[in-house]
């Protein structure tokens, strides 16, 4: 099967990003290609957005190649997790109730070291990273394509690129409410209150950004043809797209009726976040898998997800024992899904991806 477009989409999930990072390392190993070479679009929310940018950041000495492999990003979680999730008030649960749990300083320092001042338009393949503005009350999409920008205030979203860096996008998409403070990002865009965006984690509306990525792919496919001067523009349909969606683990914690019926605002805060993020991820998977099963005769959609138990639930548990557990879960999924991964590697190897937008423009 020849696919016209290939999408990689990565869920949010904090430190549990180790799971999709290890899956991607396995894909790079079996395909012999970098993830940036294998896909036309890499979408991500929160930790998935950080992975998207890490995988597409050009190398400082050989800019045609990525700076980091997926295995390098596994190492990022293992070695820098404690710096990213730096507790503001260790052991002070009372302070967590009225302040973000973690300081953003450690996270910003790590993203500065790994992403530097690389701009979004330098991404080796197109990226699509989600965030949300608390002042505009609109989704903000970070893209690697300046031609895709839309920040007219009449729209119910904004898609931005020019003048912004991967580090800024990483800070924004990972600013999970209650965990981190919103990210203040200066901008010259008109109709932006007070001259800056107030950005939080895109997981508040798209913890699993796969459906959004599929819609973005259709628009991107059209833009590439227009940039190449194609006269008869062709539309891109879902059955023509290879979609790979990576979860960070489905939360299996059960909340008994007898317990939750007595809860008020305070008790619901963290469970509500987990239920919302997890429910949104799995509903997108259900919609896509049902639609593609009905519309396609061959496999176009791969979803790699694994159930978690209570010991893996936390998005910010960076203890050595939890990191080891998360890695074990990922290795178990790789073993259990070996045949699916092999089929996927074959699909990625036998179907060259689209030329990047810069290659079209150069024609």
The angle subtended at Cα 60 by Cα 42 and Cα 63, nearest 5°, is: 55
CA distances from 45 to 2, 139, 308, 326 (A): 28, 12, 19, 19
Q: Alpha-carbon distance 316 to 303, whole Å? A: 24
Q: H-type helices in the chain, by residue range?
A: 18-31, 35-38, 47-56, 70-84, 93-96, 104-115, 166-173, 203-206, 210-227, 257-260, 265-295, 320-336, 338-350, 357-362
pTM of the model: 0.92
Contact 303, 242 (CB under 8 A): no
Q: Give backbone dihedrals phi and psi of 163, rounded to 5 degrees, phi first.
A: 85, 0
Choose among 162, 166, 158, 161: nearest CA to 198: 158
Residue in the structure block whose two tokens are 């138990």: 309
Q: Alpha-carbon distance 243 to 270, whole Å? A: 31
Among positive and negative, which fits the CA dihedral 105, 109, 111, 112?
A: positive
Q: Alpha-carbon distance 333 to 24, whole Å? A: 12
Q: Alpha-carbon distance 192 to 143, whole Å? A: 18
Q: Alpha-carbon distance 213 to 244, whole Å? A: 11
Choose among 146, 177, 170: nearest CA to 160: 146
Q: Alpha-carbon distance 157 to 109, whole Å? A: 29
| pLDDT of 360 | 42
Contact 164, 154 (CB under 8 A): no
Q: Alpha-carbon distance 48 to 58, whole Å? A: 18
Q: What is the pLDDT along the chain (363 residues), one digit of tens a residue?
A: 678 999 999 999 999 999 999 999 999 999 899 999 999 999 999 999 999 999 999 999 999 999 999 999 999 999 999 999 998 877 666 666 678 999 999 999 999 999 999 999 999 999 999 999 999 999 999 999 999 999 888 889 999 999 999 999 999 999 999 899 999 999 999 888 889 999 999 999 999 999 999 999 999 999 888 888 888 889 998 888 999 999 999 876 778 888 888 898 878 877 887 788 777 788 888 888 887 766 676 788 999 999 887 777 789 999 999 999 999 999 999 999 999 999 999 988 766 666 555 444 332
| pLDDT of 9 | 98
Choose among 125, 163, 159, 155: nearest CA to 141: 159
The one-character DSSP state at 198 is E
Q: Give backbone dihedrals phi and psi of 282, rounded to 5 degrees, phi first.
A: -75, -30
| pLDDT of 96 | 60
Q: Alpha-carbon distance 72 to 171, whole Å? A: 19
**What is the chain's length?**
363
Residue 146: partners with Cβ closer than 8 Å, 6 or more residues away:
121, 161, 162
């Amino acid at each position: 099967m020849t696919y016209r477009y290939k999408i990689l989409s990565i869920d949010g999930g904090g430190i549990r990003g180790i799971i999709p990072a290890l899956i991607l390392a396995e894909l790079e190993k079996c395909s012999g290609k970098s993830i940036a070479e294998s896909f036309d679009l890499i979408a991500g929310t929160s930790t998935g957005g950080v992975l998207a940018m890490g995988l597409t950041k050009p190398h400082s000495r050989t800019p045609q190649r990525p700076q980091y492999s997926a295995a390098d990003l596994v190492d990022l979680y293992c070695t820098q997790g404690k710096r990213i999730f730096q507790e503001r008030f260790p052991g002070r649960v009372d302070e967590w109730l009225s302040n973000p749990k973690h300081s953003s300083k450690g996270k910003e320092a790590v993203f500065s070291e790994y992403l530097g001042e690389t701009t979004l338009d330098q991404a080796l393949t197109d990226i699509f990273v989600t965030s949300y503005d608390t002042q505009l009350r609109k989704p903000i999409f970070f893209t690697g394509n300046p031609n895709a920008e839309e920040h007219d205030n009449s729209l119910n979203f904004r898609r931005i690129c020019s003048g912004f860096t991967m580090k800024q996008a990483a800070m924004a998409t990972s600013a999970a409410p209650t965990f981190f403070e919103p990210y203040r990002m200066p901008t010259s865009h008109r109709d932006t209150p007070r001259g800056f965006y107030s950005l939080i984690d895109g997981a508040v509306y798209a913890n699993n950004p796969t459906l959004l990525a599929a819609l973005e792919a259709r628009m991107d496919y059209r833009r590439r043809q227009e940039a190449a001067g194609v006269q008869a523009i062709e539309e891109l349909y879902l059955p023509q797209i290879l979609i790979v969606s990576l979860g960070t683990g489905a939360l299996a914690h059960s909340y008994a009726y007898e317990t939750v019926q007595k809860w008020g605002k305070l008790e619901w805060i963290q469970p509500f976040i987990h239920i919302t993020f997890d429910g949104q991820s799995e509903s997108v998977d259900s919609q896509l898998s049902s639609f593609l099963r009905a519309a396609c005769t061959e496999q176009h959609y791969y979803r790699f997800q694994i159930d978690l138990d209570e010991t893996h639930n936390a998005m910010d548990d960076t203890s050595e024992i939890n990191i080891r557990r998360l890695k074990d879960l990922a290795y178990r999924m790789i073993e259990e899904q070996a045949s699916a991964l092999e089929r996927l590697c074959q699909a990625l190897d036998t179907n060259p991806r689209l030329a990047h937008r810069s290659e079209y423009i150069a024609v």
